[in-house]
Amino acid sequence: MASMTISLNGATLEARASGSLFWPSESLLVVSDMHLGKSDRLARQGRTLLPPYESIETLSRLADDLDATEARNVVCLGDSFDDLPAQTSLPAAARDTLDRLMAGRRWIWIEGNHDPGPLELGGTHLGQLRLGPLVFRHIAQQGARPGEVSGHYHPKASLRTRVGQVARPAFLLDTTRLIMPAYGRYTGGLRHIDPALRGLMADDATAILTGLRPIAAPAFAGAA
């Protein structure tokens, strides 16, 4: 799968077309906002029923990313599960896949607002992780030092094509921070020019759209 090399606070990273992030020198793969078990949570709450396949589809894409990168370390940047009960009610196939992916790897769960933890699936559960020049947390902080990698907002950006505007999940990058797209199958998105994101990113930020291949464009040039 295609990737785009980017730099953040001296770390050389790969923004992958799938929406994951790879740090080659640390053999580290990062994903954010998988929201596993969303269909189960909606069913428990008597809300709109969705086909219960999103967890296995999301984990299958994660398996592909792990096979491609051969990452030995994984950081899940929060909201890995749609709520805490979802971690114990995953379909058997999804739980088996997750167990297989975790085996033999250092696996770190960063707490999110949907899954503040602790999780009961093995691995390490942290509020945030500092590693070299980078810090990994679920929600970006105003005034953060350079090197922050976060998720939470599910940013999406638009691409003009021959058939009109197409919105895709996107990374948002400036010299201080990287905000990652949601990795989960049943996740909505926030327009990258929404005030919540616009207030965090520098004027010269870059949007890196996911899809068949990553496409980079100025995030806010001509934004409306």
Q: How far is CA 124 from CA 51, 105, 180, in A?
A: 30, 11, 21
**Residue with more model confidence, 164 or 41:** 164
**Tens of pLDDT along 26-37?**
999 999 999 887
How far apart, in whole angstroms, are the C-alpha atoms of residue 168 and residue 203?
A: 21
Longest dimension (CA), the chain: 48
Query: Domain 3-218 class?
Result: alpha beta
pLDDT category at 165 given cuts 50, 70, 90 is confident
**Tally of residues, the chain:** 224
Relative to beta strand 134-136, strand 148-150 is: parallel
Instruction: List the strands of the sheet with 124-126, edge to edge.
Output: 3-8, 11-16, 21-23, 28-31, 73-76, 106-110, 124-126
**Host H or E run for residue 38:** helix 38-44
**Residues 6+ away with beta carbon under 8 Å from 115:** 78, 79, 80, 81, 82, 83, 84, 86, 87, 109
pLDDT category at 174 given cuts 50, 70, 90 is very high
pLDDT category at 140 given cuts 50, 70, 90 is very high
pTM value surpassing 0.85: yes
Q: Is the pLDDT of residue 178 over 70?
A: yes
54-69 and 92-102 helices, crossing angle to 10°:
20
Give the burial class of 89: count Cβ atoms within 10 A of its Cβ; 0-12 exposed, 13-18 middle, 19 or more buried. Answer: middle
